[in-house]
Amino acid sequence: MPISFQDLLLSFEFVGNSVGQHQAILCRRTSKIYWHSDFSDLDEFNDELPDDIEDEANYVAIPDKRELGLGKPLVLDFARECLPDDFDDIRWMFSKRGAYKKFRALLIRRNVLDRWYDFESKATERALREWCELNSISVTD
């Protein structure tokens, strides 16, 4: 059964908000996405999980950014393409804590923040669609 790309993207963002504390699991048969958060007791973030949720033939966990190579590797791809003069500084930046805050400040100074968001959005869509294809998940819209 196909899944809406927008639902998949929303679940991907939920997982990425707190890596390791939020999970989204897709049922391959029904395309229902089960959300679970170790961080929240709110019912909207804690669906009742089926008893067979560990069955990989029926369920697959929605990946996070790192699993799809959308963290540091994506930043470095963007830097190579759009900020080649800043590449070494950005690479060094991402060897330390607080890299994204510094990176964002640099993007603002260079007036390329919107370009980064567009680059990241396109890469995310491409990576999620590839992940779906690899996992035999049909996507609508």
Has residue 43 been placed in a domain?
yes
Q: Are residues 97 and 79 in the same domain?
A: yes
Give yes or no: residues 36 and 75 share one domain: no
Domain count, the chain: 2
DSSP codes of every residue in the chain: --EEHHHHHHHHHHHHHTTTTEEEEEETTT--EEEEESS---GGG-PPPPTTTT-TTTEEEPP-TGGGT-SHHHHHHHHHHH-GGGHHHHHHHTTSTTHHHHHHHHHHHTT-HHHHHHHHHHHHHHHHHHHHHHTT--EE-
State the residue range of the domain holding 45: 3-63
Q: Which residue has the tokens 């927008």?
A: 6
Rounded mean pLDDT for each run of 10 residues along the chain, 141 residues in total: 92 79 89 81 64 89 92 96 97 94 97 98 96 94 82
Same domain, 76 and 31: no
pLDDT for res 18: 62
39 and 13 housed in the same domain: yes
Structure confidence by residue, pLDDT tens digits, 36-56: 877 655 555 566 788 888 888
135 occurs within a structural domain:
no
115 and 81 in a common domain: yes
Determine the pLDDT at residue 48: 79
Query: Could you tell me if residue 134 is inside a domain?
Result: no
